[in-house]
Structure 1
Amino acid sequence: MQALNFPKFSFRFKNSENKISIFDCIRKKFVILQPEEWVRQHCVLYLIEIKKYPISLINVEKELVVNGLKKRYDIVVFNPNGSIFLIIECKAPEITINQNTFDQIAQYNRTLQANYLMVTNGLNHYYCQMDFENERYIFLKDIPSYN
């Protein structure tokens, strides 16, 4: 897998039936290593090791219903009270982040109501804080660390 624009992290891999899997510490299982999964696992370790979010507040690849359609978010970080703090949308490195990517996460956020959004393809990261009152997002240099 290609190098990403994240700090170097240590991952667990296994090879089974000529397929490489990576261990997901949130789902507590090995998952097939695809380019988007490579980005997702870097994001998870970035949240845990760099931003100091507790594993117990992080959720990965869960279903949600948006406008009657079943969708799956990549990563959600909860506040201790159970509300959603952050949604992260991960794309494979070869996918260009564009308005469609932001529209996708904004659509998810109409349901989830997170205060912060992150969109990444592992090479480029975009961070936003929601301004619900004015229905816009404010771009940031990074997401806040866990307090």
Structure 2
Amino acid sequence: MGTTQQRFMRRGVTKFYFLKTIAGAGNLPVRTELTGTNATDLSGAISDIAGWSLANSPIDTPDLGSTLTTNIPGEDKADSSTLTFYEDQAAETIETLLSKGVEGFIVILRKGDVPASKSMDVFPVRVASRAPAYSAGSDPAKFTVSFAISGTPTLDAAVPAAS
């Protein structure tokens, strides 16, 4: 492998958006959906991220001809997915946007907003819960939003072209 790899840190590069709707088929947003009033850039308020990936549960396929238990791919399941946000003392913008039961899409631009890069993941979601984190220490105030993945995610899609 003689290819030089350009490595990067996610902080400051990766973008997370919440979209209320996506009009097109395949859960693929167009540029105006990423930049319009339908979209909220959550990136600057996120302090922690968990989940946002799929795992496969293989199915064992033992047979009498071997002592080795082979397997085949089974069902895909989304990991428990959460975003932890810094709490705003003066406003409830994110709390209102992501209240329990709200449906929409989490759009992740893994390599940043690079048009045509095949690094966009789109997760259909429903907000399962939102809970504040309490601390008596000198930690910043935070709250965690848990999401139920409500449909098949679209992974490795091309970031829409700039308008």
Q: In which range does the TM-score fall when normalised by the shorter chain?
A: under 0.3
**Higher helix proportion, which one?**
1
Higher relative contact order (CA 8 A, sep 6+): 2
TM-score using structure 2 length: 0.26
TM-score using structure 1 length: 0.28
